[in-house]
């Protein structure tokens, strides 16, 4: 909520991650990952697409910008002049006339405005809290279904894609790494017969030090795919590896180097190659068993 308020107060302007850290977590030592996670959560709650944002846009290497229209709360009572607009509606047949601004009206109007502002703020807090609770329930339900048998690996064609690590200097490519993860989940889920947990379940483990075997058991999969992203100059390197959950052995690994000139093309290209390689590896393993 504090991140949302900070961005809304500076709507249309770029707010750096450092400023958000100082204002939202003034007395806590946290990394920029906290800012990214907060923004990512807001986007999910708002249904915002980071590639075509309607609310919060990422400005590479600079910060974030609220692109949605931000304005004061208005409704029917505002039309009568109680909102302090200085305009009130005249009697029937008359146009609007200038509202009185003497002390007999300004006091009640100010108090009314403050009450409405307080009510609006409380309503926003309630909405965000309820949305966060709903999100938590969805994640827990997804994980509960996976561990209770819905995602149980009755076949060998089940794989979870964990969030790729951003190993670039300064960790400025975390969004690319997350996008890489989502592309892989999307492409693998389209392979006939493959069972792939959704992003909500996979991103639950982001930043958590959990053994591969425990993650696989929780998500109900036979394999776990993870990897990393590194950047040097104008080139990006994506490393991926496939781990067999029951014994922890790496059964496949590969690195992909691409020019970093078109992020979406790079993600799509690498995700396609990884999917082909994984499909062949998993299917050959299934035949061998």
d(CA 105, CA 158): 69
pLDDT > 70? residue 59: yes
Domain range list for the chain: 2-66, 73-150, 159-288
Q: Residue 82's pLDDT band (boundaries 50, 70, 90)?
A: very low
Mean pLDDT of 67-84: 62
Q: What is the dihedral of CA 45, 50, 55, 61, to 10 degrees?
A: 120
Q: Give residue 224's pLDDT.
A: 92
Question: Which residues neighbour 179 within 8 Å (Cβ) at sequence distance 6 or greater?
Answer: 263, 267
| Mean pLDDT in residue range 42-66 | 86
| Listed residue (201, 192, 207) closest to 219, CA to CA | 201
Question: In the chain, what percentage of residues exceed pLDDT 90?
Answer: 12
Q: Is 164 helix (H, G, I), strand (E, B) or coil?
A: coil
Q: 159-288, which class in CATH?
A: alpha beta
Write down the pLDDT at residue 117: 56
| Burial class of residue 224, CB neighbours in 10 A (0-12, 13-18, 19+) | buried
Average pLDDT, the chain: 75
What is the arithmetic mean of pLDDT over 178-203? 89
Q: With contact defined as beta carbons under 8 Å apart, do 66 and 156 qualify? A: no
Residue 103: pLDDT over 50 = no
- Please say if the pLDDT value at position 100 is more than 80: no
**How confident is the model over 120-174, as pLDDT tens digits?**
555 565 555 445 554 544 445 444 444 434 344 345 788 999 999 988 877 778 8
| Distance set, CA 31 to CA 22, 166, 181 (Å) | 11, 13, 21
Residue 118: the pLDDT is 56
Summarised one tens digit per residue, pLDDT across range 270-288 is 888 888 888 787 777 655 5
Task: Write the pLDDT tens digit of every residue in 234-281.
Answer: 888 999 998 988 888 888 888 889 888 888 888 888 888 888 888 787
Amino acid 105: pLDDT: 43
Q: 199: closest CA among 255, 242, 134, 135?
A: 135
How far apart (Å, rounded) are the C-alpha atoms in residues 202 and 219?
A: 8
**CATH annotation of 2-66:** 1.10.10.10
Q: Which two tokens stand for residue 246?
A: 């029951």
């Amino acid at each position: 909520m504090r991140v949302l308020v900070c961005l809304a107060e500076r709507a249309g302007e770029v707010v750096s991650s450092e400023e958000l850290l100082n204002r939202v977590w003034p007395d806590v030592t946290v990394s920029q990952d906290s800012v990214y996670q907060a923004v990512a959560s807001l986007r999910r709650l708002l249904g915002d697409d980071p590639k075509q944002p309607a609310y919060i846009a990422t400005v590479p290497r600079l910060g974030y910008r609220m692109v949605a229209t931000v304005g004061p709360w208005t409704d029917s009572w505002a039309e009568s002049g109680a909102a302090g607009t200085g305009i009130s509606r005249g009697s029937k047949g008359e146009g609007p006339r200038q509202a009185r601004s003497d002390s007999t009206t300004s006091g009640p109007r100010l108090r009314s405005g403050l009450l409405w502002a307080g009510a609006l703020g409380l309503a926003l807090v309630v909405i965000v809290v309820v949305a966060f609770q709903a999100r938590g329930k969805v994640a827990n339900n997804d994980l509960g279904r996976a561990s209770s048998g819905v995602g149980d690996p009755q076949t060998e064609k089940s794989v979870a894609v964990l969030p790729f690590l951003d190993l670039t200097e300064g960790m400025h490519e975390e969004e690319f790494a997350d996008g890489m993860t989502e592309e892989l989940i999307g492409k693998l889920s389209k392979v006939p017969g493959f069972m792939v947990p959704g992003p909500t379940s996979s991103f639950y483990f982001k930043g958590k030090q959990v053994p591969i075997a425990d993650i696989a058991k929780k998500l109900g999969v036979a394999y776990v795919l993870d990897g990393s992203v590194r950047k040097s100059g104008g080139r990006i390197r994506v490393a991926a590896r496939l781990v067999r959950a029951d014994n922890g052995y790496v059964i496949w690994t590969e690195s992909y180097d691409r020019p970093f000139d078109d992020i979406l093309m790079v993600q799509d290209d690498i995700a396609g190659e990884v999917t082909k390689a994984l499909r062949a590896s998993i299917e050959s393993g299934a035949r061998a068993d």
